[in-house]
Amino acid sequence: METEALLPEPIEKIAKEIETGYEAENVPLGSYLLLMGAYSLFFAGLYKASSRGRDQFEKPKGLDLALLTIASYKFSRVITMSFIGSAVRAPFTKRGPSLKAGEVQDQARGRGLQRAIGNMVTCPFCFNVWSTTLFVFGYSISKKLTTQVAYVLSIAAAGDFLHLGYRNVRELSR
């Protein structure tokens, strides 16, 4: 496996060392390192913004925590699997097969950073870390706005479960 072109030299060097013996085809390890570094900077920036003038950022508790959890789940599904999220994924993926419930299973394409981002935006579990970070820090920076967005996404997620449940009951009764 060869390292990705256009990576900063220190990251490329680390990626080459990590790749030795890993024996995986088309796995952009250097680009994954770059994305983890970008996430760390993103996290630090949000932390600084959320704790400005305070000792601590506001931590969601109880029902707010549940609301943000469900909203993060739904936002992650919208970005990684919904038809409408295709516009976000398109630069990094190729169209995959349509699934039930208005979802699509796009596939990462390209090499290096394009493939690494493609893998992230097609995996609800991978993207959920970014989604959760947005909601947790958004809650601290603008509780009212973040809670309103979380209500919409959480109610939509509940609606999804109702639609799927209804469809499954209807199919069982045929």
Domain coverage including residue 162: 9-172
Does 4 map to a domain? no
pLDDT at 59: 81
Other beta carbons within 10 Å of 126: 14
Which element (helix H / strand E) includes 93? strand 93-94
Q: What is the pLDDT of residue 150?
A: 97
Q: Is residue 41 part of a domain?
A: yes
* Structural domains in the chain (count): 1
- How many whole angstroms separate alpha carbon 84 and alpha carbon 56? 36
| Beta-carbon contacts of residue 127 (< 8 Å; ≥ 6 apart) | 76, 79, 80, 120, 121
pLDDT of 55: 67
Nearest to 108 by CA among 121, 127, 126: 121
In order, the DSSP letters of 11-30 are HHHHHHHHHTTT--TT--HH
In a domain, 63, yes or no: yes
* Inter-residue contact 32 to 1 (CB < 8 Å): no
Whether residue 2 lies inside any domain: the answer is no
Could you tell me the mean pLDDT of each successive run of 10 residues in the chain, 174 residues long? Answer: 61 74 78 92 89 75 95 97 94 92 91 94 96 94 94 96 91 87
Do 122 and 78 touch, CB atoms closer than 8 A?
A: no
What is the tens place of the pLDDT at every residue in 5-22? 566 777 777 777 777 777
1 lies in some domain: no
Distance CA 49, CA 54 (A): 10
Q: Which tokens in the block code for residue 144?
A: 């009212």
In a domain, 53, yes or no: yes
87 in a domain, yes or no?
yes
Q: Residue 67: inside a domain, yes or no?
A: yes
Dihedral class, residue 6 (left if φ above 0, else alpha if ψ from -120 to 50, else beta): left
Q: What's the mean pLDDT when you consider all of the chain? A: 88
Which pLDDT belongs to residue 3? 47
**DSSP states of 103-149:** BB--EE-SSHHHHHHHHHHT-HHHHHHHHHHHHHHHHHH-HHHHHHH
